[in-house]
């Protein structure tokens, strides 16, 4: 038997091996459960935020409120479209072997990195729109926007604190996911080289 044939045989055995390491199986199962929880959270946010703005627009059919509801639903639709696209094929492993479990972990990690970039962009657009909408529709619109926007009120200050916390979390999360992806890719490479 030649070395190339033997390596190919080992690779096939590794890829078809039914025993997935317990820690990898637990990790993929935990990720699957977290994806289901996130899906439930997305549904809940759609119902509560989308539903409440739509109900407000129906109760008070003013142009500003209808605009707020329409833009809210636009953001919700964009978030759903992105979420469904980025998670396509990542819900469950397609087979019970180590290669597939490693591959789905890599794909999920890449999806989470893409989702964090999307979340940052969506957050910025939402903040700009909502703060503009609030400023335009409040008595504060007579004051200079800089005075209102920076330390103009406790609710605005809370928005800035939440924004800083959100982006701080996003930086931490992306570092963690990039390190995890590097580890998974190195593991995948070592397994292929062994196989």
Handedness of CA 89, 188, 97, 101 (dihedral sign): negative
Q: Is the pTM of this model over 0.85?
A: no
Which pLDDT score is estimated for 7?
A: 46
Question: Which of 83, 88, 90, 85 minimizes the C-alpha distance to 106?
Answer: 90
| Token pair listed for 154 | 């406790």
Q: What is the pLDDT along the chain (195 residues), one digit of tens a residue?
A: 454 554 454 455 455 555 778 888 898 999 999 999 999 999 999 999 999 999 999 999 999 999 999 999 999 999 999 999 999 988 888 888 888 888 999 999 999 999 999 999 999 999 999 988 888 888 776 777 777 777 777 888 899 999 999 999 999 999 999 999 998 898 888 877 775
| Token pair listed for 165 | 């916390």
> Please, are residues 73 and 50 in contact by the beta-carbon 8 Å criterion?
yes
């Amino acid at each position: 038997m030649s070395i190339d044939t033997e390596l190919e045989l080992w690779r096939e055995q590794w890829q078809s091996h039914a025993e997935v390491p317990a820690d990898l199986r637990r990790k993929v199962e935990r990720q699957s459960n977290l994806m289901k929880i996130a899906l439930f959270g997305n549904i809940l946010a759609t119902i509560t935020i989308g539903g409440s703005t739509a109900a407000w627009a129906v109760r008070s059919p003013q142009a500003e409120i209808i605009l707020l509801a329409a833009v809210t639903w636009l953001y919700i639709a964009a978030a759903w479209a992105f979420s469904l696209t980025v998670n396509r094929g990542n819900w469950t492993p397609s087979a019970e072997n180590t290669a597939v479990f490693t591959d789905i972990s890599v794909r999920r990690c890449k999806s989470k990195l893409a989702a964090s970039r999307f979340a940052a962009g969506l957050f910025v657009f939402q903040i700009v729109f909502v703060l503009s909408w609030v400023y335009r529709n409040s008595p504060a619109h007579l004051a200079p926007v800089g005075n209102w926007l920076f330390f103009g009120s406790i609710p605005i200050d809370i928005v800035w604190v939440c924004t800083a916390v959100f982006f701080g979390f996003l930086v931490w999360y992306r570092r963690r996911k990039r390190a995890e992806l590097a580890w998974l890719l190195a593991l995948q490479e070592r397994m292929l080289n062994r196989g």
